[in-house]
Structure 1
Amino acid sequence: MNQTHYPVQTRSEPTSRHTLAVIVDNEPGVLARISGLFSGRGYNIESLTVSETEHEKHISRITIVTAGTAQVIEQIKNQLERLVPVHRVVDLTLTSDAIEREMALVKVVGRGEQRVEALRLAAAFGARTLDATLTSFVFELTGASEDIERFIRLMTAVGLAEVSRTGIAAISRGPDSF
């Protein structure tokens, strides 16, 4: 019987969050192969965004946020680099102080003081009002994931009804690109 052994994280090994930028050919099945690599080995994807970034060359950028020990992160990067449609993998967490942003649409339902408080909180966070009815608002908020989490927690008290989030988009600081 052939058994595959995957690394087991122990409590003594520190885990950290990493943002990986993966440059790939924009072709059918690439995202499935990458997500299959993660699920097949028991790795978790905390955030995943993908879009074509170089239209003429049909190149896409996949931004993956995952967590693990240094050994697990290194294994993930090595396995991603071996996939045929992958051009390169950059760990933005290691290469520079990357800029990370996320966008969320947040629907809040309420009347009276709840509406006033929802508008006050939205203004404090710099959220845009995209839709307003007599009983609801839809806000758009862009920022660091931690800020979006705080906004959502606060909106829960005033009538949070629905949330849609994009996942993290990230880019390195400075003039260098990869």
Structure 2
Amino acid sequence: MQIKTQASERHTLSVTVENEPGILARIAGLFSARGYNIESLTVADVTEDATISRITIVTSGPPAVIEQIIAQLDRLVPVHRVVDLTELGPHVARELALVKVKGTGEKRIEAMRLAEVYRARVVDATTASFVFEVTGGPEKIDKFLELMREVGLVEVARTGVAAIARGADPI
């Protein structure tokens, strides 16, 4: 007898919440208590008076788990709305990374060439290293990092995914 397991899917969730102390800890606790993984997390206030924040969470799981995550997030009191941007359809997702690369000679030239291809900007340089700023979708940043590992990757700082639905209407 063969048991079918549901494939894990990556989803980007937009959670609108009251901007109050402890909400992020409550959301992280919800994920932790149930063994769900948060792959990326970003938070920012989105109203002029700073009373509402948007939390963008990237997580993975089978469809049933994603549905359960959304339902449990929706039940939290300071949560106004949970939108699965992945299910909603086309959306824009971007991330920023600062990437430190060391190298001299040919390695340095190759790092600069790759940076140009990926439209990475040099934000700091010494005679032995660079710090690049690269923005784009998570896949673009992953590929840039993979290539920089071969050249002399030293350190990475990533912001996490910021995402928003396409079109004129708010979600």
Q: Same fold (TM over 0.5)?
A: yes
SS at match of 1:32: helix
Q: Is 2:75 the counterpart of 1:76?
A: no
What are the within-5 Å matches in structure 2 for residues 1-178 of structure 1? 12-178=5-171
Structure 1 residue runs of 5 or longer lacking an equivalent are 1-9
1:68 Cα offset (Å): 1.0
For 2:167 and 2:98, locate their aligned partners in 1 and report how far apart those are by CA, in whole Å.
30
For 2:153 and 2:147, locate their aligned partners in 1 and report how far apart those are by CA, in whole Å.
9
SS at match of 1:39: helix
1:57 Cα offset (Å): 5.0
Q: What TM-score comes out, normalization by structure 2 length? A: 0.96
Q: How many residues align?
A: 169
Counterpart of 1:114 in structure 2: which amino acid?
K
For 1:27 and 1:166, locate their aligned partners in 2 and report how far apart those are by CA, in whole Å.
22
For 1:57 and 1:117, locate their aligned partners in 2 and report how far apart those are by CA, in whole Å.
44
Counterpart of 1:28 in structure 2: which amino acid?
P
Counterpart of 1:56 in structure 2: which amino acid?
D
Q: What TM-score comes out, normalization by structure 1 length? A: 0.92
- Which piece of structure 1 moves more, 111-120 or 29-38? 111-120
Per-residue Cα deviation, 1:60-99 (whole angstroms, up to 9, x for no partner): 0000011111111111111101101100000001112111
Structure 2 residue runs of 5 or longer lacking an equivalent are none
For 1:137 and 1:61, locate their aligned partners in 2 and report how far apart those are by CA, in whole Å.
33
SS at match of 2:25: helix
Structure 1 residue ranges (4+ consecutive) displaced by more than 2 angstroms after TM superposition: none
RMSD: 1.1
